[in-house]
Each structure stands twice: as structure tokens, then as C-alpha cells.
Amino acid sequence: MSQTASDIRKAFLDFFAAREHRVVESGPLVPPNDPSLMFANAGMVQFKDLFTGKEARDYKRATSAQKCIRISGKHNDLEAVGPSPRHHTFFEMLGNFSFGDYFKEEAIVYAWEFLTGTLGLPKDRLVCTYFGGEDGIPADTEARDLWKKLTGFGDDRVIGLGKADNFWQAGDTGPCGPSSEIHIYQGGSGDIDFGSFGDEQTPEGVGWMELWNLVFMQYDRPSKDAELQPLPKPSIDTGAGLERLACVLQGKTNNYDIDLLRELVECAAEISGKPYGHTMAPDDVSMSVIADHSRLTAFLISEGILPDRDGRPYVLRRVMRRAIRHGHRLGIEQSFLHRVALKVAEL
């Protein structure tokens, strides 16, 4: 089934709206009143105070498609962007949230229904993970058992991992908890070797790609080195990468080939006068870097950030400089980044 990114975004929001979730607009990339973050790096950022109980609203369930940037602080993907077929400085995160309403079981069932029912992803290619316990925080055996019961999978496909993969918090402080991820195997037909789980997807289409992270918010970390405190009410925070879902549903093995990014890559190709070859060859990587960085540039400037010497403006300046350097690598001599950024606005 081939679907545009817009179709997938709409299907996600509609799925959760039909399950009594309020559809909330994306929060800004520059979070107001949150000194712990330079940029919104997840859908939960605009809801932090709802998890901790500092704020209440007239809804307990929400869904959003959040603009995210992950190139500072705890989640920093900058150097991976270009050489990786699935990392971005700027991306959209689809999320569903429960503020003290439903918890693990419903979150797991919703995610499974959406992926395998609404989107029709093949169950035989999916693996689920859970927090296996670390640093005195106990293993999330409840999530493990829920996955096993729902999917019928055994230990080879319901896999316990440590804190680096399955314990989530947006920054050094704030609400956090164990998580479960759903990964898909992208590769040729035939039997899947589940023992290869963890081998990252290559542009040739072999390997595993994380699609969705379900965070079971049950703790708060009030300051950097503080002990975890239980949250007043356990809550749900999930994040699914729109570009990754589009990659799978559009039958691609490289996010830069999906509808949202392809025209930007082609714009870079046209300006450089070189063909885009859909590979990881240096010229193709440079075109991908320009496509990705022009999105971050356009969206940050639309929020009033301009390149400068420190703070957020300096991050933007570094990203623009990296894109321009890749343009020079491709032999582009005139200024060009504004042309790709205008294409972002048009799309």
C-alpha cells in the first residue's frame, strides 16, 4: 500500500481522534518557558506540565504531529544526518498521549491496531522491545507480558533492552519512564533471522528500523542527579517517526526517497547539475544533507530564529554552514540554500 506522508499523518490523527483523543496542533520548535531544552525534541514537550500534574486541561487524551529537532542536548543526531538513511535534524513525530487516563495495555493495543490494522504492516516482520531493567530500575515485565499475550510472539520477538534503548526522558530532568519500541525488518522475502535484530537498516534495505516508541511515563526526575519520584498518575507518551512510516509504506529503504524529502533532494540535484542516484555515494549523501538541513533552516527561520553566534541562532548557523559546505562539495558556486528552503515552504 503506497500512501503519502499527508495520508499517514491524517490516518494517525483520525485513528486517535476516533478513540477520544483531542487533536492538538504541533507545539513550536522553540519551547516557551522550558530552559531544559533548546528545541522541541518530542511530542511530549508541550505536555510536560500535564504529566507532572502542574497543569490540567479539559482533556486527558491527546494526539499530535509535532515538529521536532534533535541536534542538541540529550538527543543529538547531527553527524548521522546524511550518511544515515533514516536520521534527520528536523522531522515530524506522531504521538498519542494519556495524562493519567489509560496506561500500558491500551497504549500497546492502540499501537498494534494502528500499525497492523489501519496501516496493514506485516506482523511477521515486527519485533517489540521492553525495558529489561538497569541501575536498580526494575524490568518492565508487565509490558513484556502484554506484548506476548497480544502478539503471540516468543522471547525472540519480545526483547528486553537496557536504559539506552528503553528508558526515555526528553532532557536531564522531567517526566520519564520505561518504554517499548516496535521495529520492522526491511529486506528481501524469505525467512527473517530474528537473531539479526539490532542490525540497523542499510539503504540496500536489509536490517531493522525502529518505527514507534511507547513511553510509559511513571517517574519524574526533578533535578539532574535526583532520585526518580513516582508521577502522581502514570501516563502515556508515544512517538512514531512520520518519515520512517512513510518510508516503509512507500516501499522505500531510504527516508530521502519518500514524497516529503524526494523533491528537496531533486532540487539540490538540479541546482548542482548532477543526477541523484539513490545511493550512499558522496554526491547523494551531500544532496540528502542539503534536503534535510533546508527543512530545519526553513522551519527555524519561520519561528523567528536567524543564524548568529550563540545559542539557538548558532545551532542554525552550524546547520546552514554544513549544508552550504555540502553544496560546495557538489560544485555549486552560487548561493543556493534559499532556493531549497523556498521549496520546503512550497511543499
- The least CB distance from residue 97 to ligand GLY, in Å, is 9
Residues 179 and 171: their CA atoms lie apart, in Å, by 15
- The least CB distance from residue 127 to ligand GLY, in Å, is 17
- The least CB distance from residue 215 to ligand GLY, in Å, is 5
Residues 111 and 131: their CA atoms lie apart, in Å, by 17
Mark 123-162 with x for binding to ligand GLY (rule: CB under 6 A) and - for no binding. ----------------------------------------
- The least CB distance from residue 190 to ligand GLY, in Å, is 31
Which residues, 6 or more positions from 83, have their beta carbon under 8 angstroms from its beta carbon?
280, 285
At 5, list the grid cell: 506522508
Q: Which residue's CB is nearer to ligand GLY, number 237 or number 284?
A: 237
- The least CB distance from residue 42 to ligand GLY, in Å, is 4
Q: Which of 215, 248, 271, 320 binds ligand GLY (CB under 6 A)?
A: 215
Compute the Cα dihedral for 287, 288, 294, 295 and give only its sign. Answer: positive
The helix (run of H) or strand (run of E) holding residue 267 is: helix 259-272
- The least CB distance from residue 166 to ligand GLY, in Å, is 10
Counted residue by residue, the chain has a size of 347
Across-strand partners of 237? 97, 215
- The least CB distance from residue 192 to ligand GLY, in Å, is 24
Establish if 63 lies at the interface with ligand GLY (CB under 6 A).
Answer: no
Q: Which residue's CB is nearer to ligand GLY, number 29 or number 215?
A: 215
Establish if 112 lies at the interface with ligand GLY (CB under 6 A).
Answer: no
Residues 124 and 96: their CA atoms lie apart, in Å, by 25
- The least CB distance from residue 84 to ligand GLY, in Å, is 17
Q: Number of C-alpha atoms within 13 angstroms, CB side, residue 343? A: 22
Of 171, 315, 181, nearest in space to 241 by CA: 181
Q: Which of 13, 38, 40, 44 binds ligand GLY (CB under 6 A)?
A: 44
Q: Name the H helices within 20-140.
A: 48-52, 104-112
Q: Are 98 and 60 in contact (CB under 8 A)?
A: yes
Establish if 168 lies at the interface with ligand GLY (CB under 6 A).
Answer: yes
Establish if 213 lies at the interface with ligand GLY (CB under 6 A).
Answer: yes
Establish if 257 lies at the interface with ligand GLY (CB under 6 A).
Answer: no
What is the footprint of ligand GLY within residues 226-255 (CB under 6 A)? 237, 239
Q: Are 280 and 291 in contact (CB under 8 A)?
A: no
Residues 304 and 248: their CA atoms lie apart, in Å, by 34
Residues 88 and 82: their CA atoms lie apart, in Å, by 8
Q: How many residues bind ligand GLY (CB under 6 A)?
A: 7
Establish if 165 lies at the interface with ligand GLY (CB under 6 A).
Answer: no
The residues of the shown chain that bind ligand GLY, judged by CB under 6 A, are: 42, 44, 168, 213, 215, 237, 239
